[in-house]
Amino acid sequence: MSFAVISVRIQYEHDVVAARQRTRQIAQALGFEPQQQTRLATAVSEIARNTLVYGGGGKVEFLVEGTTSPQLLSIVVSDKGPGIPNLDEILEGRYCSTTGMGLGIVGAQRLMDRFSIDTAAGKGTTVYLGKLLPRRAPLVSAKGVSEMTERLAREKPKDLLAEFREQNQELVRTLDELRRRQDELISLNRELEDTNRGVVALYAELDEKADHLRRADEVKSRFLSNMSHEFRTPLNSICALSRVLQEHTDGPLAPEQEVQVSYIRQSAESLTELVNDLLDLAKVEAGKIVLHPVDFEVNKLFGALRGMLRPLLAGVSVNLVFEEPRSLPLMYTDEGKVSQILRNFISNALKFTEAGEVRVSAQYDDADASVVFRVQDTGIGIAAEYQEIIFQEFTQVDGPIQRKVKGTGLGLPLSKKLAELLGGSVSVESKVGIGSTFSVRVPKVYSLAGHVGLVEPPIQVEPSRLPVLLVEDHDETRLIYQKFLGSSRWQMIGARSVRETENILRNVRPVAIVLDIMLQGEDSWNLLAKLKSNRETSSIPVLVATTADDRGKAMALGADAYAAKPLTAAVLLEQLAAWTGVDLTRTVLLVDDQEVSRYLFKQLFSQRGIRFLEAVHGAEGLRVARQEKPDLIIMDLTMPEMNGFEAIGGLQADTALRHIPVIVATSRTLSAEETSQLAGRVAAVLPKASLSEHGVKRRLRAILTQAGLADLLPDPKTASQTAAE
Partner 1 sequence: MERIPILKMGSFLLVTVQVDMHDQLAMNLQSDLTDKIVSAKARGVLIDISALDIVDSFIGRMLGNIASMSRILDAETVVVGMQPAVAITLVELGLALTGVRTALNIEKGMDLLRASIG
Interface residue list for partner 1 (CB under 8 A): 13-14, 16-17, 20-21, 24, 34-35, 37-39, 41-42, 45-46, 49, 100-101, 103-104, 106-108, 110-111
Closer of 42 and 363 to partner 1 (Cβ): 42
Query: Least distance to partner 1 from the beta carbon of 54, Å?
Result: 14
Query: Least distance to partner 1 from the beta carbon of 38, Å?
Result: 4
| 445, 450, 453, 456: CA torsion to nearest 10 | -110
612 DSSP β-pair partners: 588
Closer of 13 and 176 to partner 1 (Cβ): 13
Query: Least distance to partner 1 from the beta carbon of 95, Å?
Result: 13
Closer of 40 and 414 to partner 1 (Cβ): 40
Closer of 108 and 543 to partner 1 (Cβ): 108
Distance CA 334, CA 422 (A): 8
Query: Least distance to partner 1 from the beta carbon of 50, Å?
Result: 10
Close Cβ partners of 571 (under 8 Å, ≥ 6 residues apart) = 563, 719, 722, 723, 724
Distances (CA, A) of 265 to 235, 241, 261: 10, 9, 6
- 542-546 and 586-591: which strand pairing? unpaired
Check whether the bond before 70 is cis (ω within 30° of 0). Answer: yes
Query: Least distance to partner 1 from the beta carbon of 14, Å?
Result: 5
The number of beta carbons lying within 10 Å of the beta carbon of residue 276 is 16
Q: Where are the alpha helices (DSSP H) in 286-357?
A: 298-309, 335-351
Distance CA 82, CA 570 (A): 107
Closer of 99 and 236 to partner 1 (Cβ): 99
Phi, psi of 690, rounded to the nearest 5 degrees: -75, -10
| Helix, strand, coil tally for the chain in percent (to 5) | 50, 20, 35
Coil/strand/helix, residue 583: coil
Closer of 22 and 359 to partner 1 (Cβ): 22
Query: Least distance to partner 1 from the beta carbon of 125, Å?
Result: 18
Helices H / strands E in the chain, number of each: 22, 24
Closer of 57 and 399 to partner 1 (Cβ): 57
Radius of gyration in angstroms for the set of CA atoms belonging to the chain, rounded to a whole number: 50
> Is 653 buried (19+), middle (13-18) or exposed (0-12) by CB count in 10 A?
exposed
Query: Least distance to partner 1 from the beta carbon of 8, Å?
Result: 14
Closer of 105 and 540 to partner 1 (Cβ): 105
Query: Least distance to partner 1 from the beta carbon of 180, Å?
Result: 33
Decide if 675 contacts 705 (C-beta within 8 A). no
Check whether the bond before 157 is cis (ω within 30° of 0). Answer: no
Closer of 38 and 520 to partner 1 (Cβ): 38
Distance CA 703, CA 709 (A): 9
Query: Least distance to partner 1 from the beta carbon of 39, Å?
Result: 5
Closer of 127 and 527 to partner 1 (Cβ): 127
Closer of 85 and 100 to partner 1 (Cβ): 100
Closer of 159 and 297 to partner 1 (Cβ): 159
Distance CA 244, CA 251 (A): 10
Query: Least distance to partner 1 from the beta carbon of 82, Å?
Result: 21
Closer of 39 and 688 to partner 1 (Cβ): 39
Distances (CA, A) of 497 to 303, 434, 474: 28, 44, 10
Query: Least distance to partner 1 from the beta carbon of 135, Å?
Result: 20
Distance CA 286, CA 211 (A): 16
Query: Least distance to partner 1 from the beta carbon of 13, Å?
Result: 4
- Give kind and range of the element (H or E) at residue 431: strand 425-431
Query: Least distance to partner 1 from the beta carbon of 58, Å?
Result: 16
Query: Least distance to partner 1 from the beta carbon of 67, Å?
Result: 29
Distance CA 407, CA 396 (A): 8
Closer of 35 and 317 to partner 1 (Cβ): 35
Distance CA 243, CA 205 (A): 56
Among 262, 275, 193, 198, which residue's Cα sits nearest to residue 234? 275
